[in-house]
Structure 1
Amino acid sequence: MHSISQLSRWAAGLLLALASTLAPAHEGHEHGGMAGKAAAKPQLATTAAFDKAGKLWVTWAEGQHVVVASSDDLGKTLSKPQRINPQPEPIYTDGENRPKVIASPDGALYVSWSRPLDAPYTGYVRFSRSLDGGRTWSAPIIVHHDRQPITHRFDSIAVDGAGRIFVTWIDKRDLLRAQAAKQPYDGAAVYYTVSTDRGATFAPERKVIDQTCECCRIALAPDANGHMLALWRNVFAGQIRDHALATLPVDNTPFAITRATFSEWRVDACPHHGPALAVTADGVRHMAWFSVQQDKPGLFYSRLSADGRPIGGAWAFAGSAQAGAQASHPTLLATDGALWLVWKQFADDHMQILLRKSTDGGAHWTAPVSLASTDGGSDHPQLLARDGHIYLSWRTQAEGYRLIDVTSAVPANATLEAAL
């Protein structure tokens, strides 16, 4: 473990500035176990999805229950929250941990979350499904076969066009093996599993790669060919914490892992900032992430071609260029020939969500537009698409849950900025 004092001064400042967003301050660069503890107040960590019929589904944690609510009026009102896990259990809702809901093209709904165990930094990845439009939910299961009381957490979940469910997570079983063999081992590993029967069963998990960052979310996105892609913060030689990308096969096909970013950020700690990933119809992989270059923290965007070649360089689109502003947690959405990019930015004692848009495959982007702001704690932003409209899903302490139509937020004559 590495304490905050081991981070550089800029990183400590960023963590303190954003501490009110989700979780209380902590000593380690990972968050500890919470077994047996109920949340003292409603959690901000929220995920939303539109189902096949266009209904909005929103999930979060209330005490020791994952709950889900629906909306037929684009988030103006939510139904009474329904408990997914009938029996109470601790639920991770700090940092980049959160319950997640996704909708399958075949109409099914799936929810995943990470459950803390008694020891710090440990957990199991949990899953439940609804095959009847959210009326009933299955008893939660653990998706991985390994049951050691170790790290299985920071789960991500996605479904491809064929309805196959992919669940990824951060796993430390290989760290234990290395320690037992007195071998060096940095970070953790990325594991995943696949269900081809609508979540009735999950295949034995596979390891993607060793030595990854311990508490950054894993981004998942399908490509136009039906393959599921994963992007994560890796630990390259010399404690370089850049990103790597791979296709997640349904079978035992060998992995082809590509280094995706080249910031050369050397830090022996986890920044709690996972990447964003979107894939356009031409197969280009679009990425946004937090990093540090020349001692300046900021948010960066770059592209990889369908065969994994960098297209241009990295573009610093937010953060260090604005004095006093601290940018974090970007998210990307590709739909209808456009790319949408939003992120959080803290300045002048309030948090706001900013937006940029590209209509030429990421070559040029509009100037930032402010979508919403708050003076208190807030969750990370999420983008959703429905019927040709783009929505910001965001939860704050002061305003509660909001779904904001941002389709027309960018003026038609907006100034464009070239990405490198």
Structure 2
Amino acid sequence: MQSIPRFLAGALLAFAATVALAHEGHDHGAMAGKAAAKPQLATTAAFDKAGRLWVTWAEGQHVVIASSDDLGKTFSRPQRVNPQPEPIYTDGENRPKVIASPDGALYVSWSRPLDAPYTGFVRFSRSLDGGTTWSAPITVHHDRQPITHRFDSIAVDSAGHIFITWIDKRDLLRAQAAKQPYDGAAVYYTVSTDRGATFAPERKVIDQTCECCRIALAPDADGHMLALWRNVFAGQIRDHALATLPIDNTPLTVTRATFSEWRVDACPHHGPALAVTADGVRHMAWFSVLQDKPGLFYSRLSADGKPIGGAWSFAGSAQAGAQASHPALLAADGALWLVWKQFAEDRMQILLRKSTDGGTHWTAPASIANTDGGSDHPQLLARDGHVYLSWRTQAEGYRLIDVSNVALSNPSLEASK
């Protein structure tokens, strides 16, 4: 691998942000091919089974990927995943993503805007040779109507099965044609059992979901893939729902996962985070509004889908003057790690909490990174007993920060009983 010194790698990432195209879709009605009004920072990272770091983002109309063998100190030259240019969604919740399979394969997905606002196709490419070459991109869904197929999420289970989920509006069109009411969109997914060579016909999880919130994916203790998304319950209640995604035609069961009763006829563009511990407990972090006060909340479901205690406000309304957003959760080495963005002291900060007893008690928040300019959402990664914050900012570029040894207070703050 040809390496580039860290300061040059940061410059490459910053340059990529400057020239990237924005397709903000939901909030701004951007059309395919519109030039960015601001630098795009949307970046996703993953460790492969050999411990190599892979980072993907968009440069103009190309998804690019670079690797690092020294934890982000130097990077390979960015490689184009899609040789032929195409528009790419790069807003915060809708971005290129990379995952690594236990068998060594690398997979990348993204959403491609079409000509009309809010429309798109979900795209996929794979590398079976350690990132040396990438397959020609394909559209993973059989439905090719020029409608919303966007906000993709991708994950792989322990058996190497690839799951891709997205927000889809084909059922909204059917309801409109039949003059029937329909709120929001639907969640669909597809599965590949042959390392991305083919994908099964897509399957609907549920109707009437939020239109522009990311879908969180995580395997459970038995290796089954779980999906968590913001749903639209009766009366425009925008809480979350959870389901196990089978690889076959096993019937789907959807469970209500959060109970904040936030009533809003709009999409907050703010999806949840999900992690599953060895005991099967589902740990969730999410944004909501209670009593007209926005905040971030943590809650748990047992392996059979029953709430464990109540929701706990870990940031936002419980923190005076805080502007908290976009949490990330990770279960690693018997502990839970929770980070989020929070604007305080005139800068954007990343705050960290940790639980070593399955989410019952948490340490007090610790600031682990900050920036004075624009920034991406945080991501947590694990490798060789260490936990890392993956974060890209406009001023500092891409950063991989080892948070494993951050000084934290004793875990005495009780989240829920």
TM-score normalised according to structure 2 size: 0.93
Corresponding position: 1:114 with 2:111: yes
Counterpart check, 1:286 vs 2:283: yes
Alpha-carbon distance in structure 1 between the residues aligned to 2:92 and 2:130: 30
Among candidates 177, 189, 193, match of residue 192 of structure 1: 189
**Structure 2 counterpart of 1:49, from 35, 46, 51:** 46
**Residue 394 in 1 paired to residue 391 in 2?**
yes
Map of 1:179 onto structure 2:
176
Matched, 1:414 2:406: no
**Aligned counterparts, 1:54-203, within 5 A:** 54-203=51-200
Q: Is the 8 A contact 1:42 1:63 kept in 2?
A: no
SS at match of 1:311: coil
In the alignment of these two chains, the number of paired residues is: 397
Q: Does 1:204 align with 2:172?
A: no
* CA-to-aligned-CA distance 1:358-399 (integer Å, 9 cap, x gap): 000000000000010001000000000000000000000000
Structure 1 pair 259–94 and aligned structure 2 pair: CA distance change class (3 A): same
Measured on the aligned residues, the alpha-carbon RMSD in Å equals 1.6
- Cα distance between partner residues in 2 of 1:88 and 1:368: 43
Name which of 249, 267, 290 aligns with 2:264: 267
Shift of residue 95, structure 1, vs aligned partner? 3.0
Q: Counterpart amino acid of 2:199?
A: F
The match for 2:15 is none
The alpha-carbon deviation at position 29 of structure 1 amounts to 4.8
2:378 aligned with 1:374: no
- Counterparts of 1:97 and 1:50 in 2: how far apart (Å)? 21
Amino acid at match of 1:416: S
**Do the aligned partners of 2:188 and 2:204 also contact (CA within 8 Å) in 1?**
yes
> Residue in 2 aligned with 1:10?
none
1:299 paired with 2:300, answer no
Aligned-partner SS, 1:340: strand
| Change beyond 3 A, Cα 1:25–1:88 | closer
Q: CA deviation at 1:32?
A: 2.7
2:244 aligned with 1:247: yes
Residues 24/92 of structure 1: CA separation in 2 closer, same or farther (3 Å cut): closer
Q: In structure 2, what is the Cα distance between the partners aligned to 1:31 and 1:140? A: 27
The structural deviation recorded for 1:323 is 2.1
Q: What CA distance in whole angstroms lies between the structure 1 residues aligned with 2:149 and 2:377?
A: 22
SS in structure 1 of the partner of residue 173 of structure 2: helix
Q: Which residue of 2 aligns with 1:15?
A: none
CA distance in 2, matches of 1:157, 1:392: 20
CA deviations 1:293-346 (Å, max 9, x no partner) are 111110000000000000000000001122221000001000111000000001
Deviation at 1:126, TM superposition (A): 0.3
Aligned to 1:17: none
Q: In the alignment, which residue of structure 2 is the partner of 1:325?
A: 322
Q: What corresponds to 2:349 in structure 1?
A: 352
Q: Distance in 2 between matches of 1:148 and 1:30?
A: 22
One-letter amino acid of the structure 2 residue matched with residue 117 of structure 1: L
Change (3 A) 1:293 1:41: closer
Shift in Å, 1:415: 5.0
Contact 2:23 2:30 survives alignment (8 Å) = no
Amino acid at match of 2:94: N
State whether residues 379 and 390 of structure 2, in contact with CA within 8 Å, keep that contact through their aligned partners in structure 1.
Answer: yes
Output the CA distance in 2 between the equivalents of 1:30 and 1:206: 27
Q: Is the Cα–Cα contact under 8 Å of residues 44 and 55 in structure 2 kept in the other structure?
A: yes
Alignment partners' CA distance in 2, 1:137 and 1:52: 18
| Amino acid aligned to 1:37 | K
Q: Deviations over 1:134-187 (max 9, x none)?
A: 000000000000000000000000000000000000000000000000000000
